[in-house]
Structure 1
């Protein structure tokens, strides 16, 4: 190999490689496209020879601008890379993967925190709404009739109620309504979420 590079450098298209010294050639292992991809795969990076070739050609054509290392030596049109080049690129990719994983975990924590905050605010709003509408024991919900009728059917006979009378959420045609029996007050048409909530807090469910 050393003798080849000493005497047959006319085959090398990239003239910068003429600066390679003998000691460097003796200490370096060379990788072609296939062995380069195999090296990356062995280190947990998903690279096939085809994928690596695509990245190489894009870099060669100036599309990716430094994102993939060009060959260290080009022999008869075939690119070869030093082991040190392959190793450096592998370590850079692994560092990027580690950073991506870290960002994903951070974003997931932020998303979970946001969702928890939304749930808290929603529950707080719900309790506040009920407290404001029914502040005393005289207007307490005594029982709930689940699945009273779908809102589309209800709205044909009643046009005056369009929202849940607890949380004020607007009913949709396909929503199931529920009837809340309130002590010393008129019955209230409430949504599924409100019905489930008041029942979970101890209000009795009735068939009628």
Structure 2
């Protein structure tokens, strides 16, 4: 009899605690810690904290991947802090690609606004799921799995993505391997690439070693 009473009390307590604070707008003037930003004092919160206008303009796709991702995460959009949601804009020029990458902190939903995008992910048992998406199509990418987006048409493509976290994180596989000082011999042993290929990729992406 004690256990059910304890569970009911715990549920009521957690519910009442959750209702104490409606939101936790990030104080972006404070430190960015591993546990996130501290909350602004309620008296300092304004409607502008809940509005983000940064996704209206296209990103700069004049780069090696011919793509631009414009995020609206907690470090730029204070109002999503603590809410477990965020968004980003994806611009892909002709030939553009977002290489294999993961978001350790959240799942992703992508909707194509214009153009055509080939998108897919690889499950933990190495099964591949990919499809060419057109305007209005939506695809989901489960948390932590490697996935990619490629412009699949002859015109620029635009998509918006949402995440199940205000800080989904990002690790791009190519940059993790070839854009740092990880010794080439280690990369060669772990990827089965030869020395010339590794050195070439390091040269392209700015890595050393």
Q: Report the TM range for the smaller structure's normalisation.
A: under 0.3
Alignment TM-score, normalising by the size of structure 1: 0.21
Q: Which is richer in strand?
A: 2
Which has the greater radius of gyration? 1
Q: Which is richer in helix?
A: 1
Alignment TM-score, normalising by the size of structure 2: 0.21
